[in-house]
């Protein structure tokens, strides 16, 4: 089909006007081919309100990156966080949108854990009706740069419902995994420098 389009364009207008057609075809090809992603990133888990908080964390990405010229890019596949076993069992239930605002809630790390043998403690974090676990909400720049993960606290109700509380980052309260940081101060610098419209420290 692409060959026919090119032949018709040549017959009607000549070679000089082929450039827009070629550019269009190249763009279609580029933006429809997923790129493999295999990366391991290191960082720290911090509490914004506690400068003494610090835990080393690694994140393993094993999936595919999808460019999108009409909407946000997407990442599909595994998103394994070293300090949370529940993120290491299966790949993401839904792709996460890359570069979205936090309030859009399109980058939650949702895992479908049906069929997994979970402990009683692990079940306290699970939405029972769907056996779904929320590992956090990703903040990221395009091509998965400056990855930070807002980590919620979990409340389990008697009826099986679960609520995930992200704190109040606008007022310097919340838990974050910050990739590329080695200390609390480095993590805060990355968060406020890249996502200062959302994460603000009151000191």
Q: Residue 165 and residue 136: Cα distance in Å, rounded?
A: 10
Mean pLDDT of 138-153: 95
Query: Which pLDDT does position 32 carry in this prediction?
Result: 62
Q: Do the Cβ atoms of 176 and 149 come closer than 8 Å?
A: yes
Query: Which pLDDT does position 130 carry in this prediction?
Result: 80
**Digit-coded pLDDT (tens) for 7-38:** 565 555 555 566 665 666 665 555 567 899 99
**Digit-coded pLDDT (tens) for 172-202:** 999 999 999 999 999 999 999 999 988 888 6
pLDDT mean across residues, the chain: 87
* Beta bridge partners of residue 175, listed in sequence order: 47, 151
Tokens of 184: 């609390």
First to last CA, the chain: 62
User: What global pTM score does this model have?
Assistant: 0.83
Mean pLDDT of 126-131: 82
Phi/psi of residue 184, each to 5°? Answer: -60, -45
Between 54 and 22, name the one with better pLDDT: 54
**Digit-coded pLDDT (tens) for 70-118:** 789 999 999 999 999 999 999 999 999 999 988 888 999 999 999 899 9
Name, of 53-62, 63-72, 113-122, 157-166, the range with top average pLDDT: 53-62
200, burial (CB in 10 Å: exposed 0-12, middle 13-18, buried 19+): middle
Q: Residue 101 and residue 183: Cα distance in Å, rounded?
A: 25
Q: Residue 112 and residue 89: Cα distance in Å, rounded?
A: 9
* Beta bridge partners of residue 98, listed in sequence order: 73
The secondary structure of the chain, three-state, reads CHHHHHHHHHHHHCHHHHHHHHHHHHHHHHCCCCEEEEEEEEEEEEECCEEEEEEEEEEEEEEEEECCCCCCEEEEEEEEECCCHHHCCCCCCCCEEECCCHHHCCCEEEEECCCCCCCHHHHCCCECCCCEEEEEEEEEECCCEEEEEEECEEEECCCCCEEEECCEHHHCECEEEEECCCCHHHHHHHHHHHHCCCCCCCC
Query: Which pLDDT does position 192 carry in this prediction?
Result: 94
Between 51 and 24, name the one with better pLDDT: 51
Q: Residue 92 and residue 134: Cα distance in Å, rounded?
A: 10
């Amino acid at each position: 089909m692409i060959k026919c389009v090119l032949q018709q364009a040549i017959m009607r207008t000549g070679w000089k006007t082929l450039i827009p057609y070629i550019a269009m075809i190249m763009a279609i090809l580029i933006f429809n081919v997923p790129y493999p992603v295999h990366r391991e990133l290191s960082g720290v888990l911090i509490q914004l309100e506690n400068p003494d908080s610090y835990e080393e964390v690694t994140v393993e990405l094993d999936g595919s990156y999808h460019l999108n010229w009409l909407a946000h890019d997407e990442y599909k596949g595994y998103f394994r966080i070293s300090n949370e076993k529940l993120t290491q069992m299966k790949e993401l239930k839904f792709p996460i949108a890359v570069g979205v605002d936090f309030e859009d809630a399109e980058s939650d790390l949702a895992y479908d854990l049906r069929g997994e043998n979970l402990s009683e403690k692990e079940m306290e974090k699970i939405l029972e009706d769907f056996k779904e676990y929320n590992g956090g909400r990703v903040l990221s720049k395009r091509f998965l740069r400056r990855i930070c993960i807002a980590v919620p606290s979990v409340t389990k109700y008697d009826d099986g419902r679960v609520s995930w509380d992200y704190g109040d980052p606008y007022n310097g309260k919340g838990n974050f995994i910050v990739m590329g940081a080695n200390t609390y101060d480095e993590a805060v610098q990355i968060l406020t420098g890249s996502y200062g419209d959302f994460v603000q420290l009151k000191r």
